C-alpha cells in the first residue's frame, strides 16, 4: 500500500459519485415500506464521513460494520470509502470470542452496530479501545455514539486513495487456525464489481431483490456492481432472508432479478409458490456455495426464471466466473470473467488441458493483497501472483468451468465458511470428549451440512444431543454441527493426522444411523 498519496482511478467513493452523475436522483432502495433515494444515500454518506473524521477515524483505519441489512449499511460503506477508511464487515452470527478475535486482529478503531447487536459488541470488546456507534435507538445510560450525530456532521470531500490501497477487510477462514482478514483493494473490488455488472447488464433488468447479507463478500460485490450501471437500479432490501417475504416482494414490486445462495432456493421451494405472481422474474444469480443440478432444475421450473451460477471466493473479491442468460450450461459455473485469468493447475503448477481436473488458480486485479497479519499464509496462497483457491475443477472444450471438489477441508454451509478446527475445538472443550473430527456432507438445502464424529474418554458418557447443545452455546448459528456421531475412535492417518476421508466414508456408510 502507498498510503493514498496518489489519486487512484478506481477509488470506490469516486465510482459512487460518477454513478450518481450518470443516473441522477431516483428511488434506489426500498426497505420495510420506505423508499430511499440515490441522492439521500450519498448525501448522508458525505455527512457520516465527516462525522467519522470528527471521531478521529483517519484514512486506512478499520471500522467494523456489524448490522443486519439496513439502508445505513449502504450509507456507512460509502462514508468509509469517502473518508479513506477500511470497510470491515462482520456477519452478526458471530459469538463474542469470534468477534473479539476480529476486533483485536484488525485493530478496529470503531464499530457501527444496530441496537439488537449492542450486547454482542459490548461483550466482545470489553477492555478494547473501541468507539461503538449505534444506528438506532440507544438504551439509557449506554456509553456509545449515536449514528444521528455522524449523520448531522459537516460533509467532507473524497479522500484520495490509490488503486492498491486497502478498501475492505473481510474475515474468512481455511481449515486451520482462526479466521483471517482478507485484504481487498479499491481496484480489486472496482474491477470485480464491473465484471459482475457486465454479466447482469446483459439481462437488461432494473428492479432487483437483495436478500444477501451485505456483510458477506457476495452481498458486497453486488452493491459495487450496481455502481457501474448505466441505468438506475432499484433494489428491495431484506433485513434478513425470509422466503415468504421474498415471494411477496417479487409480486408487489414486479421484481425482475435476485441474488441468492442455494439454501435460499431450497427454502423458497418449501413455500406455496403457485400462490404468487412471479411473472416479472427473469433471472436469479446463485453463488456462495455449490448449487446441486437437481436443485437448480427444480427452482427454475417452480420460479419460472433462469438461474445464473457464479463462482468465486473472498480472496478473489467474490467473483471469478459466471454464467449468463445466453451462455449457461448445467453443472457449470460459467466462463471466467474478463478481469480474471483462470488456469487449472497440476500439483507442480503446470497448466492442464480441458477435461482434466486440477486446482483452480487465478490471477488478476481482483486477487487479494494478502491476509492481514499473516505473511506466511499469504505467500502460500498467492504464488507469483496466482491465487491458489484450494478448489479442484476442470474446463470443458468450450471453456466452461466446473468445480469438482475442494482440496481444503473448508465447509461452505448456506454460503458461509465453516472451518472444521473451530467446531472441533468447541467439541473438545466438553469434558467427555477426547477426539473430534468435522467434515461437510452434501445437502440440498444448505449446500453442505456440518457433521461431527467424536470419541469419548474412557469411562466418560455423553449423548449426541448433549454434545449438540454444548456446541450450540459456543459456535455461531451457521457453524455448529447438525449431527454428532459417537465412535470408539476417530480415524487417523499413519502420521497421526485426522483421516477426514475415512470419516466421510463412515458417515456415508451409516446414513440414517446417528
What share of the chain in percent tops pLDDT 70?
95
Fold for 411-509, please state it: GMP Synthetase; Chain A, domain 3 (3.30.300)
The Cα 510–Cα 512 span in angstroms is 6
* Residue pLDDT, tens place only, 66-102: 999 999 999 999 999 999 999 999 998 888 998 999 9
**Structure confidence at residue 8 (pLDDT):** 75
Domain borders along the chain are 10-161, 411-509
Average pLDDT of the residues in 51-58: 98
**Structure confidence at residue 496 (pLDDT):** 46
Average pLDDT of the residues in 461-482: 92
The Cα 371–Cα 184 span in angstroms is 9
CATH class of the domain defined by 10-161: alpha beta
Asked if residues 209 and 236 have their Cβ atoms less than 8 Å apart, the reply is yes
The Cα 512–Cα 362 span in angstroms is 40
Give residue 497's pLDDT band: very low, low, confident or very high (50, 70, 90): low
**pTM score of the predicted model:** 0.82
Q: Which long-range contacts (CB under 8 A, 24 or more apart) does 152-156 make?
A: 152/47, 152/51, 153/47, 153/48, 153/50, 153/51, 153/53, 153/54, 154/47, 154/50, 155/43, 155/46, 155/47, 155/49, 155/50, 156/46, 156/49, 156/50, 156/53, 156/82, 156/83
Whether residue 331 is predicted with pLDDT greater than 90 in this model: the reply is no
**Structure confidence at residue 1 (pLDDT):** 39
What share of the chain in percent tops pLDDT 90?
71
Instruction: Write down the mean pLDDT value for the chain.
Output: 91
Q: 506: helix, coil or strand?
A: helix
* Residue pLDDT, tens place only, 248-298: 999 999 999 999 988 889 889 889 999 999 999 999 999 887 777 878 888
Whether residue 2 is predicted with pLDDT greater than 50 in this model: the reply is no
Residue 415 gets the label, from left (phi > 0), alpha (psi -120 to 50) or beta, of left
With the C-alpha atoms ordered 252, 257, 258, 263, is the resulting torsion angle positive or negative?
A: positive
* Residue pLDDT, tens place only, 195-218: 999 888 766 789 999 999 999 999
**Structure confidence at residue 405 (pLDDT):** 67
**Structure confidence at residue 445 (pLDDT):** 86
* Residue pLDDT, tens place only, 110-141: 999 999 999 999 999 999 999 999 999 998 88
* Residue pLDDT, tens place only, 9-21: 899 999 999 999 9
Nearest to 447 by CA among 474, 421, 422, 410: 410
* Residue pLDDT, tens place only, 219-251: 999 999 999 998 899 999 999 999 999 999 999
C-alpha cell at 252: 408487489
The Cα 146–Cα 149 span in angstroms is 6
The Cα 235–Cα 267 span in angstroms is 21
Whether residue 182 is predicted with pLDDT greater than 80 in this model: the reply is yes
Whether residue 344 is predicted with pLDDT greater than 90 in this model: the reply is yes
Surface-to-core class of residue 343, CB atoms within 10 Å of its CB (0-12 exposed, 13-18 middle, 19+ buried): middle
**Structure confidence at residue 176 (pLDDT):** 42
**Structure confidence at residue 487 (pLDDT):** 93
Task: Measure the N-to-C terminal CA separation of the chain; round to a whole number of Å.
Answer: 51
**Structure confidence at residue 410 (pLDDT):** 76
The Cα 403–Cα 387 span in angstroms is 16
CA atoms within 13 A on the CB side of 454: 31
Determine which helix (DSSP H) or strand (DSSP E) holds 113, and give its type and residue range.
strand 110-113
Whether residue 512 is predicted with pLDDT greater than 60 in this model: the reply is no
Whether residue 493 is predicted with pLDDT greater than 60 in this model: the reply is no
Q: What Rg, from alpha-carbon coordinates, does the chain have?
A: 23
List C-alpha distances in Å: 289 to 236, 261, 295, 406.
23, 6, 13, 12
Within 312-432, strands assigned E span 321-322, 335-336, 341-345, 358-363, 370-371, 382-383, 386-395, 401-406, 411-413, 416-418
Q: How many other CB atoms are there within 10 angstroms of residue 397's CB atom? A: 8
**Structure confidence at residue 513 (pLDDT):** 53
Whether residue 455 is predicted with pLDDT greater than 70 in this model: the reply is yes
Least confident of 40-49, 231-240, 335-344, 401-410: 401-410
**Structure confidence at residue 7 (pLDDT):** 56
* Residue pLDDT, tens place only, 160-169: 999 999 999 9
Give residue 173's pLDDT band: very low, low, confident or very high (50, 70, 90): low
* Residue pLDDT, tens place only, 396-415: 999 999 987 677 677 888 88
SS (HEC) of 181-247: EEEEEHHHHHHHHHHHHHHHHCCCCCEEEECCCCCCHHHHHHHHHHCCCCCCCEEEECCCCCHHHHH
Whether residue 181 is predicted with pLDDT greater than 80 in this model: the reply is yes
Exposure string over 470-507, b if 16+ CB within 10 A, otherwise e: bbeebbbebbbbeebbbeeebbeeeeeebbbebbbebb
List C-alpha distances in Å: 481 to 155, 168, 445.
47, 30, 15
**Structure confidence at residue 458 (pLDDT):** 81
Average pLDDT of the residues in 307-328: 93
Amino acid at each position: 500500500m502507498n498510503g493514498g498519496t496518489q489519486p487512484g482511478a478506481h477509488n470506490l467513493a469516486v465510482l459512487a459519485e460518477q454513478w450518481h452523475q450518470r443516473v441522477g436522483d431516483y428511488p434506489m432502495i426500498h426497505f420495510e415500506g420506505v423508499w430511499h433515494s440515490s441522492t439521500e444515500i450519498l448525501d448522508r454518506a458525505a455527512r457520516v464521513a465527516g462525522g467519522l473524521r470528527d471521531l478521529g477515524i483517519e484514512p486506512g483505519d478499520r471500522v467494523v460494520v456489524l448490522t443486519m441489512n439496513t439502508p445505513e449499511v449502504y450509507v456507512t460503506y460509502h462514508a468509509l470509502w469517502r473518508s479513506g477508511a477500511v470497510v470491515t464487515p462482520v456477519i452478526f452470527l458471530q459469538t463474542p470470542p469470534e468477534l473479539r478475535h476480529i476486533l483485536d486482529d484488525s485493530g478496529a478503531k470503531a464499530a457501527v452496530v444496530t441496537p439488537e447487536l449492542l450486547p454482542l459488541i459490548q461483550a466482545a470488546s470489553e477492555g478494547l479501545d473501541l468507539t461503538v456507534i449505534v444506528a438506532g435507538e440507544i438504551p439509557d445510560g449506554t456509553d456509545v455514539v449515536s449514528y444521528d450525530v455522524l449523520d448531522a456532521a459537516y460533509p467532507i470531500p473524497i479522500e484520495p486513495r490509490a488503486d492498491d490501497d486497502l478498501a475492505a477487510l473481510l474475515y474468512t477462514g481455511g481449515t486451520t487456525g482462526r479466521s483471517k482478514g482478507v485484504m481487498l483493494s479499491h481496484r480489486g473490488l472496482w474491477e470485480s464489481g464491473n465484471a459482475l455488472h457486465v454479466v447482469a447488464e446483459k439481462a437488461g433488468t432494473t428492479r432487483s431483490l437483495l436478500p444477501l447479507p451485505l456483510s458477506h463478500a457476495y452481498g458486497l460485490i453486488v452493491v459495487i456492481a450496481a455502481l457501474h450501471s448505466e441505468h438506475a437500479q432499484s433494489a428491495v432490501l431484506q433485513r434478513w432472508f425470509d422466503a415468504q417475504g421474498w415471494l411477496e416482494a417479487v409480486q408487489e414490486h414486479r421484481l425482475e432479478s435476485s441474488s441468492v445462495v442455494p439454501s435460499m432456493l431450497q427454502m423458497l421451494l418449501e413455500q406455496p409458490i403457485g400462490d404468487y405472481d412471479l411473472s416479472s422474474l427473469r433471472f436469479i444469480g446463485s453463488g456462495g456455495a455449490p448449487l446441486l443440478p437437481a436443485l437448480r432444475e427444480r427452482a427454475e421450473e417452480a420460479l419460472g426464471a433462469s438461474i445464473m451460477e457464479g463462482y468465486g471466493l473472498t480472496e478473489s473479491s467474490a467473483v471469478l466466473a459466471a454464467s449468463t442468460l445466453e451462455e449457461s450450461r448445467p453443472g457449470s459455473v460459467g466462463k471466467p470473467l474478463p478481469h480474471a485469468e483462470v488456469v487449472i493447475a497440476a500439483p507442480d503448477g503446470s497448466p492442464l488441458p480441458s477435461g482434466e481436473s486440477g486446482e483452480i488458480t487465478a490471477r488478476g486485479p481482483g486477487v487479494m493483497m494478502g491476509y492481514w497479519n499473516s505473511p506466511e499464509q499469504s505467500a502460500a496462497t498467492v504464488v507469483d501472483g496466482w491465487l491458489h483457491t484450494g478448489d479442484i475443477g476442470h474446463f470443458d472444450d468450450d471453456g466452461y468451468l466446473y468445480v469438482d471438489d475442494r482440496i481444503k477441508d473448508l465447509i461452505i454451509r448456506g454460503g458461509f465458511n465453516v472451518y472444521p478446527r473451530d467446531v472441533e475445538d468447541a467439541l473438545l472443550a466438553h469434558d467427555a470428549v477426547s477426539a473430534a473430527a468435522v467434515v461437510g456432507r452434501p445437502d440440498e438445502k444448505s449446500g453442505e451440512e456440518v457433521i461431527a464424529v467424536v470419541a469419548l474418554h474412557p469411562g466418560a458418557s455423553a449423548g449426541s444431543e448433549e454434545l449438540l447443545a454444548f456446541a450450540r452455546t459456543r459456535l455461531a448459528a451457521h457453524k455448529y454441527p447438525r449431527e454428532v456421531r459417537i465412535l470408539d475412535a476417530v480415524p487417523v492417518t499413519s502420521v497421526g493426522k485426522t483421516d477426514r476421508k475415512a470419516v466421510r466414508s463412515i458417515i456415508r456408510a451409516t446414513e440414517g444411523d446417528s
